[in-house]
Amino acid sequence: MITERGVPTPLPIKLNGDYTREVINIKTKTCTKCGLEKPLNDQHFHKRKDNKSGFRNDCKVCRKKYLSEWTSENHKKKKDGMKRWYKEKQKECPEYFSWTGMKARCYNKNHTSYPNYGLRGIKICEEWLNDFGKFLEDMGKKPTENHSIERIDNDKNYSPDNCRWATHLEQSWNRGVYSNNKTGVIGVSWSKKDNKWWAEIKADGEKHFLGTYDDFEEATKARKEAEEKYHNVESAF
């Protein structure tokens, strides 16, 4: 094998069943990233006209790895940047984002909440659908940042007579206890695996595990304290 500098290296070839050695003129190049010496061709290196060798200094394997890491890093930066922008804009006019979120849930089939809204036939009244000003006029400003839009009757559409601003806790009362909840208390359930009562609460779009308890009353108390902590609303228990 002959390196880029022209140093010959004998390569073994099979001839008549016996191994003999013959000098084959193959140029190689050492990758500046991994340090491995590889044949200088387009199978191992990307072409680059402005380079003396006509190829890049890093091999294809290292180049692919670099581009993959670069893409992931920039995607994360872009995603984090969009989150910061969204939060800043949301503070400026939170009602506008409630309006756009409402439209996405009802009409964007790719939205995670579409199955619970648009797919169920939930729609937005004509007055609000394409007029944010009318929506804001009817709903008014949010009382606090903890309030979000709620449909009073969950089986009816978004409209002035069926919507209000409500906290997460108030909305959970309106939804009632889920059919698979046998305790009668929202966020408290029995774990057969642990043989204990579980308590949890959903706040800020995340589910918070409050712990396991031997007594139902202890789990209920933990849920009550969490509602006061996360939702700033006195519990109805």
More confident residue, 230 or 197: 197
**Tokens standing for residue 188:** 């408290």
List, as one string, the DSSP characters of 51-80.
STTSEEEEEHHHHHHHHHHHHHHHHHHHHH
Same domain, 48 and 7: yes
pTM over 0.75: no
CATH code, domain carrying 190: 3.30.730.10
Query: Is the same domain home to 193 and 148?
Result: no
- Residues 70 and 104 placed together within one structural domain of the fold: no
CA dihedral 103, 106, 108, 114 (to 10 degrees): 130
Whether residue 5 is found in the same domain as residue 83: yes
Q: Is the pLDDT of residue 16 over 60?
A: no
Mark which of 151, 176, 201 sits at the end of a domain: 176
Cα separation, 26 vs 9, in Å, equals 9
pLDDT attached to residue 89: 63
CA torsion angle for 32, 37, 41, 42 (degrees, to 10)? -50
pLDDT at 5 over 60: no
Q: What is the pLDDT of residues 128-140, one digit of tens each?
A: 999 988 999 999 9
pLDDT in tens, 53-110: 888 888 989 988 888 887 777 777 676 776 676 566 656 788 988 999 999 999 999 9
Separation of alpha carbons 180 and 202, rounded Å: 17
| Domain end residue (candidates: 67, 92, 117) | 92
Cα 221 from Cα 147, distance rounded (Å)? 24
pLDDT value of position 165? 92
| 19 has pLDDT over 70 | no
Same domain, 4 and 74: yes
CA pair distance 22, 8, nearest whole angstrom: 10
pLDDT of residue 235: 45
C-alpha separations of 196 from 23, 160, 177, 191 in Å? 76, 44, 20, 5
Query: Which of the 8 DSSP states describes residue 119?
Result: G
- Report d(CA 125, CA 92) in Å as an integer: 25
Domain region containing 195:
184-237
Total domain count, the chain = 3
Does one domain contain both 69 and 131?
Answer: no
Q: Do residues 82 and 4 share a domain?
A: yes
Query: Domain end: 92, 109, 133, which one?
Result: 92
How many Å apart are CA 31 and CA 63, to the nearest integer?
A: 10
Shared-domain flag, residues 66 and 124:
no
Rounded CA separation 161/10 (Å): 88
pLDDT in tens, 28-48: 888 988 988 888 888 889 888
Q: What is the pLDDT of residues 166-208, one digit of tens each?
A: 887 677 665 544 444 556 677 788 888 888 888 888 766 567 8
